[in-house]
């Protein structure tokens, strides 16, 4: 049994982690850590755990955090973990970080996108970028995992095969749509029900951090430089991300050709499904699951290739992929505890 | 032209007041007061006013509040106005209060339901209860208005004819459903989109203040004592209130008999419509309007009479009725500036 | 391995059955039957099964329906199964019926509530009413199961202990709120998104069939006659049922007394949880699970006891309880394949 | 008084027309035509008209359609009007068509996008394209109006100034998001509440008719050829369209430069508002109004200019603009009967 702790367990991604790990046959949750709910029952913060969990939330103490656990999941707002993490902790526990602090950025890029100096950028080299379908070999031997962001996951799964094979121009426009859970549990006017419901809006128009993450990660996996124009939008729903990728082929293509490219990379991958021609992705078809659906449309007349990818932002875009990483690191079947049919209703 | 000021103009009811008064041909808005947005453009707080309003929000100064205006609308959380209002102000301006502080309660009842000592209970006698369809004569000569609460409005419009005519037992159970805008613009976990969406829940199960208001008001209008069991629920939508009133007839009744009772009281009332037999109320049919829809069902076998009433909580339940009161006080047509067909989509 | 077939597999309850049974370690799905999608892949009707299922939908043939399977789940609109089911079929396969045709009614009651003559009322005696927490012993030896309705399940779980112990008057008012999935997948104007969204409404005001079902079942379990006033409402969300039960105690009660009653019946029941005092049910806390949450409020002043129960209408109110029945019939742990923490987001 | 008739009055755009025209001081509605609700009260089809309208729906008779009216609004699915309209009718009544049949297309283009042969393409020359802010002079003297499509309106209002001034490359990518009311009142699985709620999806990926409309109209207004990549998406809400336009400047630009371009074209236009820098459009800020909000973001580093436009699809994108056209044709103030502050809640 792997003994785990979770920092940030009462955020939305944290709750999904606890919920899914609760059903993991090889995992035992030892520490549920939440600064907001110290000494409260976890089932007080999340009443869906009534009858399932008697655990209480613990305070966060970095001195003793590694004691008694094998793996530490961290799910914190940007800039928090990088202030506290150090080599001592990493020498004593494996970290799977759902936050952004160790995702392939150098200190300049971090400063530019997050407006803060990174206090422990040297630790980044101890983290492996955890995009499971593309980095499996590295993850198997990884010390720690920088779990990819939700938009970055969807963008990469959609684009990597095409960029790797040099099928498309490296100048790509991505329009993203995300559910409200992507904005977290912190109260803001923009996420107040009456303000958010029945409306759609763009946000972080030119500087969304997943833009730099996706760009760096694409370079990491393909050694190609890409120019990414990316605008995320918020749509009034609980869960789900849809990315629409507008690309220009660099050659004559047709539907089957592109399908073969995707098959080459994803044929044996359970969690990436290329939909049949004419079937379009909808976020509901992947809800509550670790699945990524992809479809694409070739416009031969306009020489354009548009790719769509849908994931559940909290699962494949956060907690589910984190567990998939845990499974790979430990030699478990990749789908252990995340092998659920999406709940479309 | 009536010159008006609005305190609490950036709350949801306040915004509806500003929006509707903007289209009132006999009203000029002089003061938009909001402690949250002092010196900001009103169109900054509510961008729907872009291109419509250049006004800025003013600070609240009770010393000078009455200067330059004829009517003051007050839309504040409970317990705020009663601390500041005094005879001096009331001698200089007519107040239409959308808050709860002067709604027929005595100091004991106020303390019981709001947990505070009322600081100006003596002013209550200067306020007329503004349920327009039932208190028109008093409103015409009123000095100030205590505008009814949203649930209280729906409950009274549904029940008053039946209680007045002694058709039903005075022991009534009311199940209320309210949209999220009823909870206001203040940020809370319960009104965070992800927490409130896709869920229905009861709240304030035994002590909702509209219970005492409805009880007192029914007594005021009918001289009957009623025992009211009332549970409000929150449903995931923007606007609308539906009350389901479970009553026991005190005599043999049938559909036409009850319809005649309602017709007697509401036949000439534009804003109360009794739906045809077999048509049920839905909150969408009154959305964005000052309309109240009522339908009822007689179960002769079970000797039961169930009445349904639907209103828009922010209009007939707040800002619209406040304007209707203003119109009555000033001898304008009752429907001036609120004569809108509901927007059902 | 239990070999099962599912009739009505592409309705909403049917889909939940397929989805949950897919994760059942002791079940193998042999026949997925859907008249609407004959010869289509199941993953074409429900694309959430992409990558999970290669099964195709079969036509419905009552002649051969029992061949090769041990258990047949039937999830059909009222009046369909009763036309076709016969002793021959029941002699060859166990049926777990999610429909209403064999739920404790006699032919007169069936006619009154469904407007049709029941064609096989004599088969009712071969069906055991499958309210798991109350009929476990009978279910263990049952031939076939009449799986309870969604509203009826919530109402009974809330009321049975109190009626059994004669704590409350047998004249009960229940106000129900149900999500749109309760109206099924058949297209109607009332379930069209633009018509149903952002609105709440009552329906089937005096004659909802769950009223007779709950009444008959309460009598079956407690030998008490109850008078039930019941109005269901539709609220704009995907899943979930909340019932608010207004009752009159027949004796002096307080909170702890009532809690003890509930504990007596549900202490060892995983799927019925009585919330701590002051915690209120919300449908989201049971979403996607087989859980029922109950809370209650005693109003000693008004001598009133109000009970709230929330379930997921498609799981504890349909597919989940059907699987719980399967488990009990076969001696499996009751929670096999339905032991999921609710997904509150 | 202008006497009007409305064909398709019980569709969503039709209902908005009736609702808004009801408040138009210079218009009298003579004929409400609906094949679905012949001889039913209009308030039966749309109960929001209870207490406002006693009109009944008439059958559609093209022989007598022009009798007794000055203006005929037509709001029909594509391909219906073109089968029936003829010179005789047009000689007797002015038509304002909210449908697509006479919107700048030639017969080849119509066939390509709608898959039908156009039966009365010669009538197109009698229709003026009614994009009010860009074609005012022509509309003033127009015989009949082809009222622009919803997406086409938003796209053109966003792009026309920039294309006209040759600021951007004529190769533009537009990502559109539309509410469910854009899909009309016809029942389909995709617009069933449970299927559409809590999900976002693309549709008509390469062949949305508004693409050809926008392309032709841009050419009509600017004499520039554009290449438009356009993908519409459906988001789970009632009303609203947001378009995100990804463009490449052809020259060095900055924020103020672009703002000046927009000011040049829209400074005196009430219904097009350019938001202050840093303010982003949200569909709620234009809901229930004839307003278009635009904002833009210059990314100097990436040499990219992204423009956002939001409208209410049923008002500025349909009924509101149709009334604006009526007003211009008749010399009324443009905002008569459509001068409403958006209802953001």
Q: What is the pLDDT of residues B278-306, one digit of tens each?
A: 999 999 999 999 999 999 999 888 889 99
Residue A291 and residue C51: Cβ atoms within 8 Å?
yes
Give a yes or no: residue D162 inside a domain. Answer: yes
A151-165 burial, b at 16+ Cβ within 10 Å, e below that, comes to: bbbbbbbbbbbbbbb
Residue the block writes with tokens 């003994």: A3
Let me know whether D203 and D277 are in one domain. yes
Mutation pick from C170, C190, C202, C249 vs chain B, by most beta carbons of B within 10 Å, is: C202
Flag whether C336 is in a domain: no
Residue A329 has pLDDT above 90, yes or no: yes
Pick from D12, C97, C238, D316: nearest CA to B284? D12
pLDDT at residue B205 in the model? 80
Mutate to test the interface with B, among C169, C172, C175 (most CBs of B within 10 A): C175
Same domain, B137 and B157: no
Partners of B308 in the β-ladder: B244, B295
Per-residue pLDDT, averaged over C209-217, amounts to: 90
**What confidence tens digit (pLDDT) does each residue in B159-189 have?**
999 999 999 999 999 999 999 999 999 999 9
Chain segment A27-41, per-residue pLDDT in tens: 999 999 999 999 999
How far is A249 from A301, CA to CA, in rounded Å? Answer: 12
Neighbours of chain A (3+ CB pairs under 8 A): B, C, D
Question: Of C48, C293, C344, which is closest to A285 when you measure between CB atoms?
Answer: C48
From CA B300, how far away is CA A176, in angstroms rounded? 57
Choose the catalytic residue: A57, A132, A150, A292: A150
CA distance to partner chain D, nearest, from residue A30 (Å): 34
What does the pLDDT average to over C171-183? 97
**Cross-strand bridge partners of residue C272:** C292
- Examine the predicted complex and report whether its ipTM is higher than 0.90: yes
Given the residues C150, C178, C245, C292, the one annotated as active site: C150
B137 confidence band (pLDDT: 50, 70, 90): very high
Q: Are B114 and B150 in contact (CB under 8 A)?
A: no
Tens digit of each residue's pLDDT (9 = 90 or more) over C181-201? 999 999 999 999 999 999 999
A94 and A169 belong to one structural domain: no
B204 & B139 share domain: no
C127 shares its domain with C185 = no
Which of the other chains make 3 or more beta carbon contacts under 8 angstroms with chain B? A, C, D
Looking at residues B132-136, what average pLDDT do you find? 98
Contact: A181, C345; criterion CB under 8 Å: yes
User: How is residue B25 written in tokens?
Assistant: 């041909």
Residue of D nearest to C235 (CA): D193
Contact between chains at C193 and D197 (C-beta distance less than 8 A): yes
Closest chain A CA to residue D190: A282
Give me the phi and psi of B241, to 5 degrees please: -130, 140
Phi/psi for D93 (5° steps) reads: -155, 145
Dihedrals phi, psi of C31, to nearest 5 degrees: -130, 120
Name the residue in chain A with its Cα closest to that of C24.
Answer: A340
Instruction: Look at residue C162 in the predicted model and tell me its pLDDT.
Output: 98
State the greatest distance between any 2 C-alpha atoms of chain B, in Å, as a whole number: 63
Written as tens digits, the pLDDT of chain D (345 aa) is 999 999 999 999 999 999 999 999 999 999 999 999 999 999 999 999 999 999 999 999 999 999 999 999 999 999 999 999 999 999 999 999 999 999 999 999 999 989 999 999 999 999 999 999 999 999 999 999 999 999 999 999 999 999 999 999 999 999 999 999 999 999 999 999 999 999 999 998 877 777 899 999 999 999 999 999 999 999 999 999 999 999 999 999 999 999 999 999 999 999 999 999 999 999 999 999 999 999 999 988 888 999 999 999 999 999 999 999 999 999 999 999 999 999 999
**pLDDT score for A302:** 81
Q: Catalytic residue numbers of D?
A: 150
For residue B198, what is the nearest residue in chain A, using CA coordinates? A238
Minimum-distance CB partner of D235 among A195, A200, A229: A200
Residues of B labelled catalytic:
150
Q: Is residue C274 part of a domain?
A: yes
Among A234-248, C108-122, D282-296, the range scoring the smallest mean pLDDT is C108-122
Q: What are phi and psi for residue C103, nearest 5 degrees?
A: -100, 75
- Shared domain check, C44 and C164: no
Q: Who's near B145: CB < 8 A, 6+ residues apart?
A: B94, B95, B96, B97, B127, B128, B129, B130, B139, B322, B325, B329
A286 in Cβ contact with A312 (< 8 Å): yes
Q: Find which of A233, A289, A304 to mutate to test the D interface (most D CBs within 10 Å of its CB).
A: A233
Assigned domain for D37 exists: yes
Do B247 and B123 belong to one domain? Answer: no
Report percent pLDDT > 90 for chain C: 95
Q: Give dist(CA D178, CA A233) in Å, integer.
A: 13
The phi, psi pair for D52, rounded to 5°, reads -110, -35
DSSP state of A147: P
- Six-digit token string for C31: 């026949």
- Please check whether residues D194 and D268 belong to one and the same domain: yes
Chain C residues close to D40, C-beta within 8 Å: none
> Residue D324 in contact with residue D271, Cβ under 8 Å?
yes
> Is pLDDT at C301 greater than 90 in this prediction?
no
List chain D residues with CB under 8 Å of C196.
Answer: 193
Cβ-defined contact of B194 to A189 (cutoff 8 Å): no
Note the pLDDT tens digit of each residue in A172-210.
999 999 999 999 999 999 999 999 999 999 998 877 777
Which residues in chain C have their CB less than 8 angstroms from residue A49's CB?
341
Residues of the domain holding B281: 151-313
Nearest to D339, CA basis, from D273, D284, D271: D271
Q: In degrees rounded to 5, what are phi and psi of residue C235? A: -115, 150
Q: Are residues C160 and C302 in the same domain?
A: yes
C185·D194 Cβ contact <8 A: yes
Residue C107: how many CB atoms within 10 A of its CB? 13
Do the Cβ atoms of C46 and A270 come within 8 Å?
A: no
C345 assigned to some structural domain: no
For the stretch A272-293, pLDDT in tens is 999 999 999 999 999 999 999 9
For A264, the 3-state DSSP assignment is: helix
- Within this chain, do residues A137 and A213 fall inside the same structural domain, yes or no? no
DSSP class per residue in A265-287? HHTT-TTEEEPPTT----GGGGT
Task: Output the pLDDT for position B199.
Answer: 98
Whether D161 and D207 map to the same domain: the answer is yes
Two structure tokens written together for D275: 């938001």
Cβ of B289 and D344 within 8 Å?
Answer: no
Kindly determine whether residue C246 and residue B235, on different chains, have CB atoms separated by under 8 Å. Answer: no
CA B147 from centre of chain: 6
Q: What is the pLDDT of residues B5-52, one digit of tens each?
A: 999 999 999 999 999 999 999 999 999 999 999 999 999 999 999 999
**Phi, psi at D149, each rounded to 5°:** -70, 165
Q: Count of alpha carbons within 13 Å of D73, Cβ hemisphere only?
A: 37
Partner-chain residue, chosen from B16, B273, B339, that has the shortest CB–CB distance to D50: B273
Residues of C with CB under 8 A from a CB of B: 173, 175, 177, 194-195, 197-203, 205-206, 227, 229, 231, 233, 235-240, 242, 244, 246, 280-284, 287, 297, 299, 302, 304, 306, 308, 345
Q: Which residue has the tokens 């478990």?
A: A332
Distance of CA C7 to the CA centre of its chain: 17
- Report pLDDT digits (tens) over A118-177: 999 999 999 999 999 999 999 999 999 999 999 999 999 999 999 999 999 999 999 999
Chain D residues at the C interface, defined by Cβ less than 8 Å, are 12, 180-181, 185, 187-189, 191-198, 236-238
pLDDT at B301: 80
- CATH number, domain containing residue A256: 3.30.360.10
Residue at C257 is within a domain? yes
CB-based contact B181 A194, cutoff 8 Å: yes
Whether C101 maps to a domain, the answer reads yes
User: Considering only CB atoms, which chain B residues are within 8 Å of D22?
Assistant: 341
Q: Chain D contacts of B270, Cβ < 8 Å?
A: 51
Q: Between the CA of residue B120 and those of A72, B125, C326, what are the distances in Å?
A: 58, 10, 65
Helix locations, D63-186, DSSP H: 81-84, 87-92, 107-114, 136-140, 150-164
The CB density around residue A271, as the number of other CB atoms within 10 Å, is: 24
Q: Please check whether residue B343 lies inside any domain of the structure.
A: no
Domain containing residue B108: CATH number: 3.40.50.720
Give B-chain residues touching D12 at CB under 8 angstroms: 345
Q: How many domains does chain B have?
A: 2
What's the CA gap between C310 and D284, in Å, rounded?
32
Q: For every residue of chain B, which 3-state class applies, written as one string?
A: CEEEEEECCCCHHHHHHHHHHHCCCCEEEEEEECCCCCCCEHHHHCHHHCCCCCCECECCCCCCCCCCCCEEEECCCCCCHHHHCCHHHHHHCEEEECCCCCCCCCHHHHHHHHCCCCCCHHHHHHEEECCCCCCHHHHHCCCEEECCCHHHHHHHHHHHHHHHCCCECCEEEEEEEECHHHHCCCCCHHHEHHHHCCCCEECCCCCCHHHHHHHHHHHHHHCCCCEEEEEEEECCCCCCEEEEEEECECCCCCHHHHHHHHHHHHCCCCCEEECCCCCCCCHHHHCCCCCEEEEEEEECCCCEEEEEEEECCCHHHHHHHHHHHHHHHHCCCCCCCCCCCCCCC
Q: Domain check: are B181 and B283 in the same one?
A: yes
CB-side neighbour CA atoms (13 Å) of A340? 27
Contact A194 B188 (CB under 8 A): no
- The per-residue DSSP string of C327-338 comes to HHHHT--TTTTT
């Amino acid at each position: 049994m792997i003994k785990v702790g979770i920092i940030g367990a009462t955020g939305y991604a944290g709750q999904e982690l606890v919920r899914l790990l609760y059903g993991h046959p090889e995992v035992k949750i030892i520490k549920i850590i939440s600064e907001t709910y110290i000494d409260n029952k976890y089932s007080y913060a999340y009443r869906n755990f009534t009858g399932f969990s008697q655990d209480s939330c613990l305070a966060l103490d970095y001195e003793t955090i590694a004691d008694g656990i094998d793996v530490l999941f961290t799910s914190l707002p940007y800039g928090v973990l990088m202030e506290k993490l150090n080599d001592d902790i990493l020498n004593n526990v494996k970290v799977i970080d759902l936050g952004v602090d160790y995702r392939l950025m150098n200190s300049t890029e971090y400063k530019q996108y997050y407006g803060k100096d990174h206090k422990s950028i040297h630790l980044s080299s101890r983290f492996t970028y955890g995009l499971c379908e593309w980095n499996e070999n590295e993850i198997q031997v990884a010390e720690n995992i920088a779990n990819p962001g939700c938009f970055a996951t969807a963008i990469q799964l959609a684009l990597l095969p095409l960029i790797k094979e040099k099928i498309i121009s490296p100048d790509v426009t991505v329009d993203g749509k995300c559910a409200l859970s992507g904005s977290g549990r912190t109260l803001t006017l923009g996420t107040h029900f009456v303000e958010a419901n029945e409306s759609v809006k763009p946000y972080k128009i030119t500087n969304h951090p997943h833009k730099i993450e996706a760009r760096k990660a694409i370079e990491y996996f393909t050694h190609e430089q890409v120019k990414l124009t990316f605008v995320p939008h918020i749509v009034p729903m609980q869960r789900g991300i849809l990315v629409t990728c507008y690309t220009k082929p660099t050659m004559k293509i047709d539907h089957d050709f592109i399908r073969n490219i995707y098959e080459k990379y994803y044929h044996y991958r359970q969690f990436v499904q290329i939909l049949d021609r004419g079937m379009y992705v909808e976020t509901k078809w992947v809800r509550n699951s670790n699945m990524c659906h992809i479809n694409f449309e070739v416009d031969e007349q306009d020489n354009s290739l548009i790719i769509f990818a849908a994931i559940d932002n909290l699962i494949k875009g956060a907690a589910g992929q984190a567990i998939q990483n845990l499974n790979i690191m430990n030699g478990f079947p990749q789908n252990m505890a995340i092998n659920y049919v999406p709940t479309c209703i």
